[in-house]
Amino acid sequence: MTFQKGFIWGAATAAYQIEGAAFEDGKGPSVWDMCCRRPGFVKDGDTGDIACDHYHRYKEDVAIMKEIGLQAYRMSVSWPRVLPDGTGRVNEKGLDFYDKLIDELLNNGIIPYITLFHWDYPYELYKKGGWLNPESPEWFAEYARIVVERLSDRVKHWITLNEPQCFIILGHYDGIHAPGLKLDKYDIFQAIHNTLLAHGRAVETIRQYSKLPCEVGIAPVGNTYIPETSSEKDIKKTRDVMFACFEDNLWSNSWWMDPVYFGKYPEDGLAKYERWLSQIKQDDMKIIHQPLDFFGCNIYQGVRVRFSDEKPLKFEYVKNKPGYDQTAIKWPVTPEALYWCPRFFYERYGKPVLITENGLSNTDWVSVDGKVHDPQRIDFLYRYIKELKRAAQDGVEAKGYFTWSLMDNFEWAQGYNERFGLVHIDYTTQKRTIKDSAYWYKTVIESNGDVII
């Protein structure tokens, strides 16, 4: 058996990681533009000023996507490129760029999936309090309306937020992503609530203004656990911890996604986080809980968990074996994460699952023969896709798979030190080289996932 008919194969990117042209054609600054200027914030002092220069080379990049045979392309729109101040004044040149890019994709038979927000928050709004400002959901809705009014005569697939957990926890609590803050938990829970409201307002706006029937979802990331054995008992307990709230871990899937898919915060979280929570307004949950068409999963790895028999949710992480398989960024290779997590999410939320990101950083370079040989990436993708297929065979409704990433790009605080792409970028010359894995992925797409290595 292969994947269902109509399963979508694509690759993903994000605006700040590839576009460059950071201060061109009227674009406003984002929190990432500003943090990149802070000494020590990004490894080697790298910035997204030029990145892959995709803003100027998008035609070449779309031609590459076609060469790889991508059916779909997940990209994000830069909020401050469209609204330099975050609200109000529209930058027509910014919108024109996305207009042309969408046309280029469609002319080449590639379906665009647009993420409205992938972390490049307008600096002008940050100065007004950013996600802590009660107006922030409305700011996001205004931005969503402008993008949707312009592109929805051609775009039918929308993702509101990419990994809200990362930009709130890494960006506002740990301080290692932009805007580089270390706020206390009162503020963090308020910011979480505001981003969920922003998601809800964006969904309402997309549905209200879309010119075509459309599909809308969100792409979260969270705790990803793998049962140590596949005994019924371990599976059940692992599912329980996937959706449990813990005081010292703000990444709980249920805290972030139950409001979105069920319209309420989980009871265990309400009890554990009570002292940090502000009053929730009566209609908030109605706004957050909008009908969605899919559940986006950004999954790279999972942690194997072992349970103790006495206490129901007492568990420990199973230690990796010495010399375990790991990628260049030192993430363990755990293909079963792409079986268990889609399965747990599907079982809980009942929505078709769309893998919005999965891939690896590898030590790729251009070989003496001018090609990029990346057998590890082929092996990694093969193993993970196989697990997703197993989930589909076991009844998980899997809609599609996007590999991260189309091309090597600016890996946030790691700068250009990590290469996640199907396409190699030489950042000095901006030369693109299609890696071996991309040609292999082409055969995966052609066979709808039936290929073996």
Cis check for the bond before 29: say yes or no (omega within 30 of 0): no
Residues 25 to 64: which contact ligand GCO by CB under 6 A?
none
Decide whether 46 or 411 has the Cβ nearer to ligand GCO.
Answer: 411
Stretch that binds ligand GCO, among 26-34, 159-167, 265-273, 387-395 (CB under 6 A): 159-167
CA 409-412-418 angle, 5° bins: 50
Identify the active-site residue in 19, 104, 163, 387.
163
Total residues interacting with ligand GCO, rule: CB under 6 A: 11
Q: How far is the CB of 357 from ligand GCO (least distance, A)?
A: 5
Question: Closest by alpha carbon to 411, among 331, 339, 335?
Answer: 331
Decide whether 363 or 443 has the Cβ nearer to ligand GCO.
Answer: 363
Stretch that binds ligand GCO, among 42-50, 158-166, 240-248, 442-450 (CB under 6 A): 158-166
Buried/exposed code over 125-152 (b: 16+ C-beta within 10 A; e: otherwise): bbeeebbbbeebbebbbbbbbbbbebbb
Q: Does the protein bind ligand GCO through residue 404 (CB under 6 A)? A: yes
Please say if 357 is a catalytic residue: yes
Of these, 120, 357, 374, 408, which contacts ligand GCO (CB under 6 A)? Answer: 357
Structure tokens at 4: 């269902």
Q: How far is the CB of 12 from ligand GCO (least distance, A)?
A: 7
Q: How far is the CB of 50 from ligand GCO (least distance, A)?
A: 17
Of these, 33, 46, 258, 411, which contacts ligand GCO (CB under 6 A)? Answer: 411
Instruction: Map residues 312-351 to x or -, x wherever contact with ligand GCO holds by CB under 6 A.
Output: ----------------------------------------
Of these, 307, 420, 440, 441, which contacts ligand GCO (CB under 6 A)? Answer: 420
CA 356-199-352 angle, 5° bins: 40
Q: Does the protein bind ligand GCO through residue 299 (CB under 6 A)? A: no
Q: Does the protein bind ligand GCO through residue 407 (CB under 6 A)? A: no
Identify the active-site residue in 149, 267, 336, 357.
357
Of these, 30, 47, 91, 162, which contacts ligand GCO (CB under 6 A)? Answer: 162
CA 105-109-112 angle, 5° bins: 45
Decide whether 387 or 411 has the Cβ nearer to ligand GCO.
Answer: 411
Contact in structure between 214 and 157 (CB atoms under 8 Å) = yes
Q: Does the protein bind ligand GCO through residue 364 (CB under 6 A)? A: no
Question: Closest by alpha carbon to 247, among 221, 214, 274?
Answer: 274
Residues 5 to 24: which contact ligand GCO by CB under 6 A?
14, 17
Stretch that binds ligand GCO, among 22-30, 55-63, 161-169, 231-239 (CB under 6 A): 161-169
Q: Does the protein bind ligand GCO through residue 163 (CB under 6 A)? A: yes
Residues 82 to 101: which contact ligand GCO by CB under 6 A?
none
What residues are annotated to the active site? 163, 357
The site for ligand GCO (CB under 6 A) is made up of 14, 17, 162-163, 166, 221, 298, 357, 404, 411, 420
